[in-house]
């Protein structure tokens, strides 16, 4: 049982983050773009995203990828190395990063259910897969 290899956590997390950002961009900027524009217009907010704001979302995608691989590295000694453990880590991070915040937003009624739950459903597949790919690069030595 070795120490966490932080360099590999970052490397694997960045790779996972590339996958997360690709899926999230496709989902939000392509598939859900009309829904987001309508929702923001209904709230009286700008319908065009500021490029500086987009960098926050990209950074968040990389951060989630790094956290997922970090979680994989943390549970790996107990559950063993491999894709099954990576999927478990991805599901744990999915619950904390996607499911719980969305449940907290639902009562506000600010956004239509499609804008809240479709990303959660997509991330249920996206995050475990991205974690498996990121974990593939992770080695403790």
Q: What is the average pLDDT across 82-91?
A: 98
Domain ranges of the chain: 6-136
Q: What is the average pLDDT across 99-114?
A: 96
% pLDDT > 90, the chain: 91
For residue 1, pLDDT beyond 80: no
CA distance 69 to 134: 6
Q: Convert the pLDDT of each residue in 20-58 to its tens digit.
A: 999 999 999 999 999 999 999 999 998 888 889 999 999
Q: What is the pTM of this model?
A: 0.93
User: Across the chain, what does the average pLDDT equal?
Assistant: 95
Residues 19/93/96/43 CA torsion (nearest 10 deg): 0
């Amino acid at each position: 049982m070795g120490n966490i290899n932080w360099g590999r956590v970052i490397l694997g997390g960045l790779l996972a983050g590339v996958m997360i950002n690709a899926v999230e961009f496709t989902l939000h900027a392509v598939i859900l773009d009309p829904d987001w524009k309508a929702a923001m217009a209904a709230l009286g907010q700008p319908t065009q995203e500021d490029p500086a704001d987009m960098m926050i979302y990209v950074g968040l995608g990389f951060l989630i990828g790094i956290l997922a691989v970090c979680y994989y590295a943390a549970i790996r000694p107990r559950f063993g190395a491999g894709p099954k453990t990576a999927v478990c880590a991805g599901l744990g991070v999915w619950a904390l990063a996607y499911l719980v915040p969305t449940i907290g937003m639902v009562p506000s009624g600010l956004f239509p259910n499609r804008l809240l739950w479709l990303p959660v459903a997509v991330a249920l597949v996206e995050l475990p897969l991205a974690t498996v790919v990121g974990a593939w690069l992770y080695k403790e030595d």
